A and B are shown apart, each in its own frame.
Chain A
Amino acid sequence: MKTVIIGMLGTNLDRRGRNAKRWAAWRPTVSLCQHEDLVVDRLELLLEPRYQSLADQVTADIQTVSPETKVVHHIIRQEDPWDFANVYSVLRAFTDGYPFDTDNERYLVHMTTGTHVAQICWFLLTEARYIPGTLIQTSPPNSRPKEGDLPIGQYQEIDLDLSKYDQIASRFRLEQLQGTEYLKQGIQTRNKLFNEMIEQIEKVSIRSIEPILLTGPTGAGKSQLAKQIYELKKQRQQFGGKFVSVNCATLRGDAVSSTLFGHTKGAFTGATTARPGLLREADDGLLFLDEIGELGVEEQAMLLNAIETKQFFPMGSDKEVSSNFQLIAGTNQDLWQRVSEGQFREDLIARLDLWTYHLPPLRDRVEDIEPNLEFEIENARTRLGTMIRFSKEARDRYLQFATREAQWRANFRDLNSSVTRMATLADGGRISREVVEEEIALLQARWRAGAPSTHEGETLLQNILGTEHLQELDPFDRVQLAYVVAVCRSSRSMADAGRQLFSVSRERKSSINDSHRLKRYLEKFGIVFERIGAV
């Protein structure tokens, strides 16, 4: 990589007479080439034609002190070096015509010489990346030198990448979080696939108003992400309305339609006042429907219509109302499976499936656990209003557990409550090793309790097959089958159960049909999936 400096001849500072005394004086352009840790391979020297002889002297002197440097003269004509527009256009013309070769050369713009106007122009051109380089400033030796000071003065490179300046960066942190950073709430995630996915979501959410479908297990961060997409679009003034979020699993019966689409006064018993409904509330905003698979088929049809026409009928009304909302749907189910079971409308999923993103479970993003832990700690600090810190030992232990042993069944929800507990129990804001050990024990106990046990399965199996049939089975098959039915029982669908039971082998297969595999297995013992739930 060659180092190229672009700068103007200093008609005052570089002019130090013709006799040998000039060497004792500080000349910025010459001094640039005298540093022990900076070799200038080429110096692009901009000068007015009338200063040619000064330029020749400076060039010859640079050749003496820095034989490595090639000096190239560029004649420029500024009508008035203090006229901003004039100087800018001259320098802009130079940079536009300059063959930058950033693969092989790095560029430093020397801004110590030239008028202040020229300095400002160099700054603007560099900041706007017309010059793909950094600024370099030289300064004279101290007038009261300390021993060891260089008589050639100092130089300082100034990188205008603001993100590199901690103080400035943190000051504007939230306001400045751009795009993907915003979507990640500033969490420095390291998982490559996740980061790539977020990059695409950022582009899509900024450019498109189409529905987005977020899939993934409970607690994987679907609603957080939906919220951040809303905030990002609001920040870019793409939304004027609200963020409206509802979990479809919490809606029951008549309430479903009226909650979503609203109703008129007297539309049904108890409808004493009119209600606008969530779709209307989300007008010019974002509607997040979590667990959309729980929505009834009828509501699905209404929703599809509302997405497509931006219009719908509130209950009890014969007048269509309109709402312009963007929809994000969340689910932890396999919606296509629900379609095959007749539980989900194919036309709706076809509409939702345009942009589908799968948020992986936390245990598949081991490298992101640490940054998320930081994030949660920071949140706990804000919530509790006190400084919370791990002792080093405690932190190491917790991270080791979190990344290697923990199951994170409820994903970020588990992590969040785990940190909340530890932060609350931390005496003097310090999370000790003891607190961490207690927390680990607690988490492990919970996850164990949640796991289907074979004992439970045995009882279940007995109920399904009857004691007689059960005794015909080898103990070898009994144990396995007991576990399988226990999983089936706790799963919503055969596909769900299959996913869990074949979680390892499915990773390696190109086509996956876990439910078929499970069905065949159960058939061997004369068991039908639906019956397990009925028992």
Chain B
Amino acid sequence: MSTQQIDGSMGEGGGQVLRTSLTLSMCLGVPVKITNIRAGRKKPGLLRQHLAALRAAAEICDAEINGDALGSTEVRFVPGALRPGNYEFRIGSAGSSTLLVQTVLPALALLERSSTIIVHGGTHNGMAPSVDFLELALFPLLARMGVQVDSTLHRHGFYPIGGGRWEVTVHPWRQPAPLQLFRRGSWIENRATVTSSQLQGHIAERELARVARKLGWPEKALISSDVASLGPGNIVSLRSRFEHVTEVFEAVGGLGISAERVAGRAIRDARRYLAADYAVGEYLADQLLLPMVIGAGGEFTTGALSSHSRTNMALISGWLGASSIAASEGNPDGAPSSVVSIPSGLALAC
């Protein structure tokens, strides 16, 4: 089978080009060669977390890989047969567990038997949507598309210590269904959750106070929870539940940022979404693309397309043809909005 050539510097040119390419390669069984990986970055080539994703993907489909080294700018990945099973991956330096799981999840869903993945690493590391985000926003939509995912977070892993433990079970994708998500539906509830570990209580209090003041959410919607983790950490998570979709807006605390600024970031994102009309927020839009392409397609409305999403779409249409995915962007009432449409999807199913 001929090898798909990917220029790793396309679009945003980050680790995402690598991960999307791996997912498509695994699902389609097509070898892929990615060059110029993370070209032009301060530290070009594969970093530790990319290497972890690459090796995890290789393990699941018994792939042959070349160039799996730190700093490598060229990788060749020849997938073998996908294997269901119980997998355990360890990512160093609090690398993102969610990105790794998203890379391999669509492929595992194509198998006749359920698979379980246990990931050790960062679960709330601020560099990618957290496990909470996936559980609340993404997995319910995957369920509507026909993919059942069970998720259990055993331990939080904050940046930079990591050491989180998360278990995900992916069930066979028997009936791919298109996802039609034009409207949010009626509003159900808002909730602000601050999750902290090994930090003084006033930090969570200040963050929640800021949320109450700026968004006017009531006392009973504000929740503070202290969790066990290897290292200290803090994340503000604002959740808005609607009839057809739940959105999550997150910000992670770190060195040199005040509690108020952390909260402010999540508040800014939540406000922007709540003031608009479209169904799907920036990050969720990005996460839906691959499952829809591999499944039965569909359509959704979202805001202005992020460069991340554009890169993903360019990669998908470059690989599967220009008609596989389309987006129309408009600016009807001064607020940018887009409709992303995936006419049929590959309907790979198991």
A residues touching B (Cβ–Cβ < 8 Å)? 1, 3, 20-21, 23-24, 33-39, 64-69, 141, 144-152
Contacts and interface: CB of A to CB of B under 8 A. Distances in A.
Contact of B47 (A37, A67, A147): A37
Contacts of A144: 256
A342 B120 CA distance: 88
22 contacts: A3-B70, A23-B198, A34-B94, A34-B161, A36-B43, A36-B47, A36-B48, A36-B49, A36-B93, A36-B95, A37-B48, A38-B48, A64-B161, A64-B230, A65-B94, A66-B92, A66-B93, A67-B91, A149-B255, A150-B160, A150-B255, A151-B254
A34 B93 contact: yes
Interface string B217-234: 000000000000011100
B90 interface: yes
A67 B120 contact: yes
Contact of A65 (B49, B51, B70, B92): B92
B94 to A, nearest CB: 7
Interface in B79-135: 90-95, 120
Contacts of B255: 141, 145, 147, 149-151
- Prevailing SS type, chain B contact patch: loop
A67 B90 contact: yes
B298 interface: no
Contacts of B69: 1
A146 B162 CA distance: 21
Which of B71, B94, B95, B256 is packed against the most chain A CB atoms within 10 Å?
B256
Range, interface on chain B: 20 to 34
B163 interface: yes
A141 B159 CA distance: 14
Contacts of A152: 160
Nearest to A147: B256
Given A39-B92, A66-B93, 17 more contacts: A1-B69, A34-B92, A34-B93, A34-B160, A34-B161, A36-B48, A39-B51, A65-B94, A67-B90, A67-B120, A145-B256, A146-B256, A147-B254, A147-B255, A147-B257, A148-B254, A151-B254
B70 A24 contact: no
- Closest 7 A-B residue pairs measured CB to CB? A67-B90, A145-B255, A145-B256, A23-B231, A147-B256, A66-B92, A37-B43
B95 to A, nearest CB: 8
Given A1-B69, A23-B161, A23-B230, A35 B93 contact: yes
Q: For chain A, what secondary structure do more than half of its interface residues adopt (helix, strand, loop), or is it mixed?
A: loop
Contacts of B256: 144-149
Contacts of B43: 36-37
Contacts of A68: 90, 92
Interface in B23-58: 43, 47-49, 51
A23 B230 CA distance: 7
Most buried by A among B48, B160, B198, B232: B160
Contacts of A65: 92-94, 161-163
A141 B47 CA distance: 21
Nearest to B232: A24
A3 B51 CA distance: 15
Contacts of B71: 37
Contact of A33 (B92, B95, B163, B231): B92
A39 B162 contact: no
Contacts of A34: 92-94, 160-161
Given A34-B93, A65-B94, A141-B255, A23 B232 contact: yes
Contacts of A21: 198
A38 B70 contact: yes
A1 B257 CA distance: 38
B193 to A, nearest CB: 22
Nearest to B199: A24
A330 to B, nearest CB: 51
A65 B94 CA distance: 7
A533 B256 CA distance: 91
B48 A151 contact: no
Contact of B231 (A24, A35, A150): A24
Contacts of A20: 198, 230
A117 B63 CA distance: 49
Given A34-B92, A145-B256, A147-B257, A24 B48 contact: no
A187 B3 CA distance: 46
Nearest to B261: A147
A156 to B, nearest CB: 14
Interface-central residue, B43, B92, B94, B95, by most chain A CB under 10 Å? B92
